[in-house]
Amino acid sequence: MRSSLHSRFPSIPKSPTGIKGLDEITFGGLPKGRPTLICGNAGCGKTLLAIEFLVHGALDFKEPGIFMTFEETAADLTDNVASLGVDLNALIKRKLIKIDHVRVERSEIEETGEYNLEGLFVRLNYAIDTLGAKRVVLDTIESLFSGLSNATILRAELRRLFHWLKEKGVTAIITGERGSNTLTRQGLEEYVSDCVILLDHRIVEQISTRRLRVVKYRGSLHGTNEYPFLIDDTGITVLPITSLGLTHPAPTGRISSGIPQLDAMLGGRGYFKGSSVLISGTAGTGKSSLACYFAAAHAKARKRCLYFAFEESQEQILRNMHSINLQLKPWVKKGLIIFDACRPSLMGLEQHLVRIYKVVEEFKPDAVIIDPISNLVSSGTGREVQSMLTRLIDFLKMKQITTLYTILTTSGAPVDDTEVGVSSLVDTWLLIQDLQHAEHRRRKLFIIKSRGMGHSDQVKDLLISNAGIQITDREVKTETH
């Protein structure tokens, strides 16, 4: 919806940042030839975002850049970003980036009423002209004015700095510390900037979460929500998905569930490709077993499957499936099934979302399994989990990736109830119930819904034994699991 609106109306020229997700949120990047303010508390990622803006500009868009720092030395800055795989020294030698450390000594600042930034302008102008720079970063604005307490002079010089950068025609990023009741300590920078981006690093119940929000953007539409972002060994990744429009494709091709009897219940051909499948049931009903058969079916078709496990390790899953006559290790060795196992409490919900997004983008699977999504409840409230899963389901559908989710339900809970309330979002919903029958237990499987296809309304016996999985109309005497 927003992209269609954006295409109908003219927008100001943009300088792409090259940061995954951020250019999507801003519909193309930062305002070209204008200043942008990046603000937030200490440690939220302001300097890193500014560095990436320069590095991508130099390497990807042939726009050299100047990084003027008032805090860290060039050596410290180079060492800090080296852990992210960025070799600033190499870019400096190639004259693609210049780092200029400006020491601002309080004793050198005389508040005589004639304090100004002429010296800074001369120095910055020389660096821009020498390098042919198109991008400039000033990090941070507070350090530049740390010795100045006269509010009138400070505000005048701030305005002059922003206007000078605009007249120079460079795309600039100015970083600033967040104030107590304002976006910045001075409370003025956000008004004279053409674009303001707020970074936030919060800790909720001992779990770290990073968020990004475009507060304003003159002359351009932009995403207005809070977006999760991740800082890892590759830099910054922003996940722009809050709620994608209902514009995802609806393929008509089918993919086997891995179990012939279940395929027969699904119109004889299995799940729709690119659809979302939910398998719910109480503990021990066989949800993970059905998920693994689905993964094996993709591997046999030479399709890649990405398995996110939130309860068991890869080796534990391989061992358990071996006991029901399903050999997954050969497919793992061939790289057709990849397991990504971690505890939900390792990170916050938004970080899980960003991590899944990144792994999917890197591996480019045909199918994804998330087992179980109910474990994510430990990283947030039910409503937060539902919001996160809504975004995840939309993202995977847009990628036309067939996705299978398992969810642990509470014994005695209503059939139409799931712990995180996502049953209405999926295309196919399978329910497994564990019933006591005479002196032994029986698993019952039935299809609650499967959109767009004829499907069985029968309740079947689900038998799991050392011979594998069977779905039948009658009980079969065998050693069960």
**pLDDT tens for residues 45-79?**
899 999 999 999 999 999 999 999 988 888 888 88
Q: How far apart are CA 5 and CA 66, in angstroms?
A: 35
Looking only at the bridges linking them, the beta strands covering 367-371 and 402-408 are: parallel
The parts of the chain modelled with pLDDT lower than 50 are 1-6, 107-113, 242-244, 476-480
* Domain end marker among 209, 238, 267: 238
Number of other residues whose CB lies within 10 A of the CB of residue 352: 24
Domain hosting 399: range is 254-472
pLDDT at 385: 76
* Domain end marker among 214, 238, 262: 238
Q: Summarize the chain as % helix, strand, coil (round to 5).
A: 35, 25, 40
Q: What is the pLDDT of residues 382-391, one digit of tens each?
A: 677 777 788 8
The separation between CA 48 and the C-alpha centre of its own chain, rounded to angstroms, equals 17
Question: Residue 93, by phi and psi: left (phi above 0), alpha (psi -120 to 50) or beta?
Answer: alpha
Q: Tell whether 287 and 228 lie within a shared domain.
A: no
Closest of 9, 55, 53 to residue 35, by C-alpha: 53
Residue 210 within any structural domain of the chain: yes
Q: Tell whether 192 and 303 lie within a shared domain.
A: no
Q: How far apart are CA 44 and CA 402, in angstroms?
A: 35
Q: Tell whether 171 and 65 lie within a shared domain.
A: yes
Residue 451 within any structural domain of the chain: yes
Q: What is the pLDDT of residues 180-197, one digit of tens each?
A: 666 665 555 566 788 999
Q: Tell whether 233 and 279 lie within a shared domain.
A: no
Looking only at the bridges linking them, the beta strands covering 305-309 and 428-437 are: unpaired
Q: What is the pTM of this model?
A: 0.72
Which residues are bridge partners to 462 per DSSP?
443, 471
Q: Tell whether 35 and 96 lie within a shared domain.
A: yes
Residue 293 within any structural domain of the chain: yes
Residue 141 within any structural domain of the chain: yes
Q: Tell whether 118 and 32 lie within a shared domain.
A: yes
pLDDT at 158: 79
Tally of domains within the chain: 2
* Letter string b/e over residues 281-306, b meaning 16 or more CB atoms within 10 A of that residue's CB: bbeebbbbbbbbbbbbbbbeeebbbb
Q: Tell whether 149 and 260 lie within a shared domain.
A: no
pLDDT at 105: 59
Q: Tell whether 188 and 88 lie within a shared domain.
A: yes
